[in-house]
Amino acid sequence: MNAENFAQPHLLKQPIYVTGKPIAYTAREFGLDPAQIDKLASNENPLGPSPKGIAAAAKALAEVNLYPDGGCYDLIGHIGEFRKVNRDQVVVGNGSNELLDLIAKVFLGPGTEAIMGSHGFAVYKLATLVQNATPVEIPMPAPDFNLSLAAVREAITEKTRVIFIANPNNPTGTELSAKELLDFARSIPENVVLVLDEAYTEFIEEDAPDFLPLIEEGLPIICCRTFSKIYGLAGLRCGYAITRPDIASLIHRVREPFNVNSLAQAAAQAALGDQEYVAHVRKANAEGLKQLSEGFKSLGLPYIPSRANFIVVLGVKEPTKAFEFLQKKGTIVRPQRAMGDALRVTVGTKEQNERFLRNLSDYLKSL
């Protein structure tokens, strides 16, 4: 029996998300010591997890024989208190990635469309396609790779159900101003759900647009955040969405029971109260972005100014070859072939950034 004969036909063309290459894979492939490898491919926190989060997760280990709280009651309460929203506005997911999938399940299907940038987070397109809906990609041309909100607005049709926008954007690191985003949110039809992916928003918190008043007014907006980035809990998989209560209720209908494990719930709850650590990470990230930007300038390479915890360097000929070269040197990055001669690199520690720049210089000399 060929399983493909019985599968949903549209799934036969479904792309598979390719993750950043794990350290263990590179170590095996090139015979390297894992301890000497810098993974700068997946926008993880190089400073490690929130200490308070790890302590809480360790304590929660004693009760992993029990199922986690399927309703995430305590965590939702802390999120609501921290963000000043009601409990019924919050949905917790297995990373914000799961929340994007759940949103697609609720609002997308055959004959519907979702709008996104051409250089946006790959999951927007994948989540749309798996629902047999149509992704509408708005061009984000070089050299700025910015998303035009005017172009997004023009692309809205009677089939549009969802608009996905990240700010800052992944993988470009570009940022839209608070005013233009808030004005855009007010300008779209009331039957189109605006999904704001705020995975990197904590890195620009003081400049970030606040959509919560618009949600309070009744606009169909969903703001998704994650504990994977600035809180450093990527391995535990926990994120949350804030939206209108009626929209939250719909997302709960398609959410799996026990979708967030007890360690993740405990760690996220404690990490939320670790804002001193968040401020430390934010400051270190700004210093790292400056270090990498100055390094690219000294190498004569253009780059896209970033407000996230990663940056795209341009002008790196044969990026796939560069990816292989850098791995052999112990640095894992992410080639961005769709953007041309480009590499995306996570902001690491000062030492990791230095090694990457040195290895990148060696690659340029080898050409």
> Among 217, 250, 275, where does a domain finish?
275
Are 302 and 334 found together in one domain? yes
The structural domain count of the chain equals: 2
Token pair for 49: 């997890």
Are 216 and 82 found together in one domain? yes
Give the number of C-alpha atoms closer than 13 A to the C-alpha of residue 360, restricted to the C-beta side: 29
Token pair for 227: 């504990």
Are 42 and 67 found together in one domain? no
Confidence of residue 148 (pLDDT cuts 50, 70, 90): very high
Q: What phi-psi label fits residue 315: left (phi over 0), alpha (psi between -120 and 50 degrees) or beta?
A: left
CATH number of 29's domain: 3.90.1150.10
Check: CB of residue 362 under 8 Å from CB of residue 331. Answer: no
Task: Give the mean model confidence (pLDDT) for residues 250-278.
Answer: 97
Query: Is the pLDDT confidence value at 1 over 80?
Result: no
Question: What pLDDT was estimated at residue 9?
Answer: 83
Query: Which residue in 192, 226, 227, 224 sits closest to 211, CA to CA?
Result: 224
Bridge partners of residue 195, in order along the sequence:
164, 222
Are 160 and 301 found together in one domain? no
CATH number of 179's domain: 3.40.640.10
d(CA 236, CA 228): 8
CB atoms within 10 A of CB 148: 15
Range of the domain at 155: 51-275
Are 86 and 35 found together in one domain? no
DSSP 8-class letter at 260: S
Check: CB of residue 164 under 8 Å from CB of residue 195. Answer: yes
Query: Is the pLDDT confidence value at 202 over 80?
Result: yes
Sign of the Cα torsion 278, 279, 284, 288 reads: positive
Task: Give the mean model confidence (pLDDT) for residues 242-265.
Answer: 97
Query: Is the pLDDT confidence value at 7 over 90?
Result: no
d(CA 287, CA 56): 29
| pTM given for the model | 0.95
Are 207 and 82 found together in one domain? yes
Sheet strand arrangement including 134-138: 90-93, 239-242, 221-226, 193-197, 160-166, 113-117, 134-138
Are 324 and 346 found together in one domain? yes
| CA of residue 53 relative to chain centroid, distance | 20
DSSP 8-class letter at 21: P
d(CA 295, CA 181): 32
* Residue-averaged pLDDT of the chain: 96
Are 32 and 163 found together in one domain? no
Question: What pLDDT was estimated at residue 154?
Answer: 98
Phi, psi of 309 (to 5 degrees): -105, 30
Are 287 and 357 found together in one domain? yes
Confidence of residue 11 (pLDDT cuts 50, 70, 90): confident
Question: What pLDDT was estimated at residue 250?
Answer: 98
Are 39 and 79 found together in one domain? no
Phi, psi of 89 (to 5 degrees): -100, -5
d(CA 105, CA 195): 13
Label residues 186-201 b or e (16+ Cβ within 10 Å = b): eebeeebbbbbbbbbb
Q: pLDDT tens-digit profile of 341-351?
A: 999 999 999 99
Q: pLDDT tens-digit profile of 306-338?
A: 999 999 999 999 999 999 999 999 999 999 999
Check: CB of residue 268 under 8 Å from CB of residue 160. Answer: no
Q: pLDDT tens-digit profile of 31-68?
A: 999 999 999 999 999 999 999 999 999 999 999 999 99
d(CA 117, CA 226): 20
Are 19 and 37 found together in one domain? yes
